[in-house]
Amino acid sequence: MTSIGASGQATASNGSLTVVALAAEADVHRMALLKRHVDLKNEFYERVRAETHQVPETEKRLRETVTKLKKTIANQKAEIEELGQQVTRLALASAVLTQENDGQAERALVSDNVIPFAKSIT
C-alpha cells in the first residue's frame, strides 16, 4: 500500500490536488472514490479550497465550460430572435407581392385594346 511519505510528498501520484491523485495515494480505484465515497470526495475538495485558498482544477474547468455555454446560449437566443424578425419581414413581403400579383392579374383581364360590344336595341 502506498501513501504520502514522511516528508509530506506524494509517492504514488503526481501530487496534484485532484481526486485521481488522492485515489492513487490511498491505493483505491478512483471510481470507488467518485461513486461510492462522494462524501470523502466532497470533503477533500472542501479541504483543498480551505487550506490552499484555491479552487480545484476540475471546478475551474467546469466554470469555464459553464461560461462558454452561457455565451453560446446568449448567441443562439439572439440568432433565434433575428431569424424570427426575418420570418416576419419575409411574410409581410410575401403578402405585399401576392397582393400586387393579384392586382396585376385583374388588370391583365381588362386589356386596354378591348372594346366592349355596345348593347343592341331590339
Q: Does residue 95 form part of some domain?
A: no
pLDDT at 76 over 80: yes
Cell of 47: 479541504
The C-alpha atoms of residue 15 and residue 24 are separated, in whole angstroms, by: 10
Q: What is the mean pLDDT of the chain?
A: 80
> Per the structure, how many domains does the chain have?
1
CB neighbours of residue 48 within 10 Å: 19
Q: Does residue 34 form part of some domain?
A: yes
pLDDT of 18-75, one tens digit each?
A: 778 878 877 888 888 778 888 888 888 888 888 887 777 778 899 999 999 999 999 9
Provide, for the chain, the percentages of residues in helix, strand and coil under a 3-state DSSP scheme, each rounded to the nearest 5: 70, 0, 30
Please give the residue range of the domain that contains residue 24. Answer: 1-54
Q: Does residue 13 form part of some domain?
A: yes
Task: Supply the Cα-derived Rg of the chain in whole angstroms.
Answer: 37
Q: Does residue 35 form part of some domain?
A: yes
pLDDT at 78 over 60: yes
Single-letter residue type at 71 = K
Confidence (pLDDT) at 2: 39
Q: What is the DSSP letter of 116?
A: P
Q: Taking a C-beta distance cutoff of 8 angstroms, is the pair 56, 19 a contact?
A: no
Q: Does residue 98 form part of some domain?
A: no
Cell of 54: 484555491
Q: Does residue 44 form part of some domain?
A: yes
Q: What is the pTM of this model?
A: 0.47
